[in-house]
Amino acid sequence: MKEQETLEKEVELIELPPAKDTHRWVAITALLLAIGVILHTISPNIGGVTPNWTIAMYSITIGLTNPSFPQALGIGFVAGLTLVPSSKSAFPLGNIASELTGAMVAALVVKSMLRMGLANFRFRPYLTGFLATMASGSVFTFILKLILNLPLHVYIYAMLPVVATVAVLNGFITQVLFAPAQKLFFIQGGRKK
């Protein structure tokens, strides 16, 4: 017993301060995707249109964190997986391909705008959310068209207009929620932007 007490006294705990911002993007991604999935699940379908909160949330995440392309693929993959159980579509697994596409488009938009010196462009969040939704929705509806063997005119004149409507709505949601998310992200990190 005395030997164990001596051993415990000799062992000191070493406390290492956490590395700043190394995995902060993971925390913000998890938080916003969780919010997106909850809102996606409870949002009613109004006139055939439901905002895709998950796309809006990962567009915000990608706009805030500017992840690498592999990280953006990871964000898209996780987003797609989380949508499978709550999907109201005929082919829920299509969400994986569509969200991979949407996240990559969001990352391309953010990286392109940053390289062009448009980091402070006022409508960058709207553009990111809109284009990510157009890409994701187009891929998803095209997969549905193939699986359900729908005619091309149904895809072009019925499905794509719904995608465009949701894209406008998601762009608006992304724009409105970006500033509060940015404030939370940077205040919690101890720096102001």
DSSP string, 84-101: HHH--SS-TTHHHHHHHH
Q: Is the residue at 99 inside a domain?
A: yes
Q: Is the residue at 8 inside a domain?
A: no
What pLDDT does 40 receive?
76
Residue ranges in the chain whose pLDDT is less than 70: 1-25, 187-193
Single pTM value for the model: 0.81
Q: Is the residue at 36 inside a domain?
A: yes
- Residue that is written with structure tokens 């187009």 in the block: 138
Q: Is the residue at 97 inside a domain?
A: yes
CATH of the domain at 114: 1.10.1760
3-state secondary structure 46-87: ECCECCCHHHHHHHHHHHHHCCCHHHHHHHHHHHHHHHHHHC
Q: What amino acid occupies position 89?
A: S
Contact between 52 and 40 under an 8 Å Cβ cutoff? The reply is yes
Q: What six digits make up the tokens of 30?
A: 């998890």
- Determine the structural domain holding residue 95 and report its residue range: 24-42+49-188
Domain tally, the chain: 1
Q: How far is CA 123 from CA 16, 47, 66, 75, 165, in A?
A: 41, 27, 16, 22, 18
Q: Is the residue at 59 inside a domain?
A: yes
Alpha carbon distance 10, 132 (integer Å): 56
Alpha carbon distance 157, 109 (integer Å): 27
Q: What six digits make up the tokens of 51?
A: 């905002």
Q: Is the residue at 13 inside a domain?
A: no
- Picking from 75, 141, 61, the residue whose alpha carbon sits closest to that of residue 103 is 75
Q: Is the residue at 89 inside a domain?
A: yes
